[in-house]
Amino acid sequence: MSKHRAFALTLCAAAIGTWGASAARADDYDITHFKIYAGPAYVSPLNSQDVTFGTVEDSLEGESHVGWNLGFEGRFIKLLGIEVDYVNANQDVDFGGSTIGDTTFSPLTATLNFHVVANNHFDLYLGPSYTWINWGDINVNANSSGITGSSTVGTDSSSGWGVSLGTDFSPWKHFAFYAGLKYLNADLKLSNGQSSSFDPLVARLGVAARF
């Protein structure tokens, strides 16, 4: 946990440190105060943790899957904005290396973006994130219902911190392509009080309209 927080703080410090240097490059930037975007998202859990079903204890982890992403950003000044985005992806769940079922990964994330490079055609930004994740109940397959003792395993929503990095390429004034990476320090929480540290990395691509 401490390594993840240190990583996020380091990136934020780097963004603040380049604020002054990038200000001159941003002088001729025709700022857009609002951006809305959508596209596919690739979710890749980076961690796992042992849990117990009945008398069996083993690692619970998620598999990588493609979902979709929708969000918007409001810019207060040329180099600072607040972004809110939503991701939805169906995610297979493994227990001890075997797929036991699937769940829905649906985080709503707010990010404070520092636009460290901003000009008419290229925008590079990064910043800290806070996320609230609604996990769907795990739908257990027939082969695994004997291990879990049920056809479903209840889950609880969770929250966590993260860090985001993104870039926009704008061939036209009101249209852009975007790409980004978002790391979320978040757990899959089970209703029985157990949890597994999934810590997903979310890669995003898509198109954006800017006003």
pLDDT, tens digit, 9 for 90 and up, residues 40-89: 999 999 999 999 988 889 999 999 999 999 999 998 788 899 999 999 99
Least confident of 8-12, 102-106, 184-188: 8-12
Q: Alpha-carbon distance 114 to 126, whole Å? A: 5
Q: pLDDT at position 181, please?
A: 96
Averaged pLDDT, 93-110: 94
Question: Tokens 């075997």 — which residue?
Answer: 98
Closest CA to 86 of 60, 107, 56: 107
Is beta strand 80-95 parallel, antiparallel or unpaired with respect to 49-53? Answer: unpaired
pTM: 0.80
**Sign of CA pseudo-dihedral 120, 124, 129, 135:** positive
DSSP state of 3: H
Q: pLDDT at position 19, please?
A: 41
Averaged pLDDT, 139-148: 85
Sequence-separated (6 or more) residues with CB below 8 Å from residue 16: 114
Model confidence at 211: pLDDT above 90: no
- The CATH code of the domain that includes 11 is 2.40.160.20
Model confidence at 26: pLDDT above 50: no
Q: pLDDT at position 32, please?
A: 59
The pLDDT mean for the chain works out to 85
Q: Domain containing 172: what range?
A: 2-210
Q: Alpha-carbon distance 130 to 26, whole Å? A: 27
What is the tens place of the pLDDT at every residue in 144-181?
Answer: 888 888 888 999 999 999 999 999 998 887 899 999 99
Domain count, the chain: 1
